[in-house]
Amino acid sequence: MQTVESKSEKIFQRACEVLPGGISRNTVFRDPHPDYVQSASGCYITDVDGITRIDFANNMASLIHGHAHPAIVEAVIEQLKKGTAYTMATEIETQFAELLCNRVKSFERVRFMNSGTEAVMAMIKLSRAFTGKPKIAKAEGAYHGTYDFAEVSQTASPENWGDIDSPNSVANTKGTPKSVLDEVVIFPYNDIERTLSILNRNADKLACVIIDPVPHRVGLVKGEQEYIEAIYDWTRKNNSLLVFDEVVTFRVGYGGAQEMYPVSPDLTALGKIIGGGFPVGALAGRADIMEMMNPRFGKPAFPHSGTFSANPITMTAGYTAMKLFDKEAVTNLNSLTQKAIQQIQEAIKIADVPVSITGAGSMLRIHLKANPPKTYREAYQSKETQKVLKNLLDYLYYKEHLLLVNTCTCMFSTAITQKEVDILSDAFLRAFKELREQIISIQKEVAV
């Protein structure tokens, strides 16, 4: 009997004629085709075929208040009537910068842009301009956007990552110039001795050391306090900058993930939740460093602009969203996420599967191994593990109607309640029981 094509399948067939792979961002692709959204509200999202799912991905961690929050929608509509972008400054960008600077002690100045990738790119360029040094150092496996230098060793594998004492700089995109790889120093995350040894070998050339305090791709593991302090001290002694990528992790605490540490970064790249659902990026940090972007007294050391940077729609949405994400909201959301972790751990115990959980704040990630990974190499997934993880995600998506990030990660929003947490943990229990033998088989493969 011939199956009836879904609306999503028909749209995808059209999309393949005009978009590479039928999509504009690889993260939304599903085999055999992505599903297309009809509408979304709060933590629920409905596709064109009428299926409603609970959204635990929240557009890759960017929707801190879920979809179509009434206060954000109302504020944006009011601004929309006044215009969307001008070749003039707006007061709302000043208000938003004031809010952020009052929120985080390391933010003395802020410059807005349009994406997290752009924010990291600007952070690297500003670090070079300030220190006069060419190289950067970053953790193996850490994702910092799609800038050539930032994406080096983002997807390093056992076939090419080299010795742990001196990891290779591995291209992520075919055709990346060797000159780019030569300017990027790679170190193993949370390994003080090896990291400092590697930094020391490049001390006279390093403009900055980039740290994501809870790097998703490394395994969503927190940077240990001793580790962060050691790198901070090293940068003080070697005329280098400690810079944080908090594009994802700014949701972890009221003042970002950096408030977990007694030391502060010199610069911080922001994005995602500070846009209130719209494209955004920002660079914040020490006034003397940010001064390198100041055009008031002639050409600055780092000239920076952008057609839609600080556009009033994004600024209005972001300002509204961050006002709503106050200390109480942060505490409540983090507590709810912790409750979810506890309930999923109980499901793991009942199903008797070798599964572990990592995370921080309002983020959690499931690992198909008994012990949570502490490094990128421990978190690395074999093809067999990737296959089982896909089966788990497909079960949750198609059978339980739950949408997660494709690493089996949940990024909570304030729209989620205990009701959705209960649904999530119950769904995981059924999924673990259904896929138990597959999950156990991975452990046998590793043991061999």
**245 given a catalytic annotation:** yes
276 in Cβ contact with 243 (< 8 Å): no
The closest alpha carbon to 270, from 94, 86, 68, 62, belongs to: 62
Q: What 3-state class would DSSP assign to 338?
A: helix
Token pair belonging to 388: 């089982």
Helix axes 418-434, 327-351, angle to 10 degrees: 30
With beta carbons less than 8 A apart as the criterion, state whether 249 and 269 touch: no
Out of 55, 272, 319, 395, pick the active-site residue.
272
User: CA-to-CA distance for 347 and 355, rounded, in angstroms?
Assistant: 10
Torsions phi, psi for 284 (to 5 deg): -135, 155
Longest dimension (CA), the chain: 74
Pick from 285, 265, 286: nearest CA to 212: 265
- Dihedral of alpha carbons 298, 304, 305, 310, sign: negative
Q: What are phi and psi of 157, to 5 degrees?
A: -130, 170
Cβ-contact 46, 36 below 8 angstroms:
no
- Catalytic entry in 55, 125, 138, 143: 143
Question: Given the structure tokens 């997290």, which residue do they identify?
Answer: 116
For the chain, give the number of residues. Answer: 448
Question: What is the sign of the dihedral through the CA atoms of 144, 145, 148 and 151?
Answer: positive
Active site (annotated) includes residue 397: no
Q: Which residue numbers are catalytic?
A: 143, 245, 272
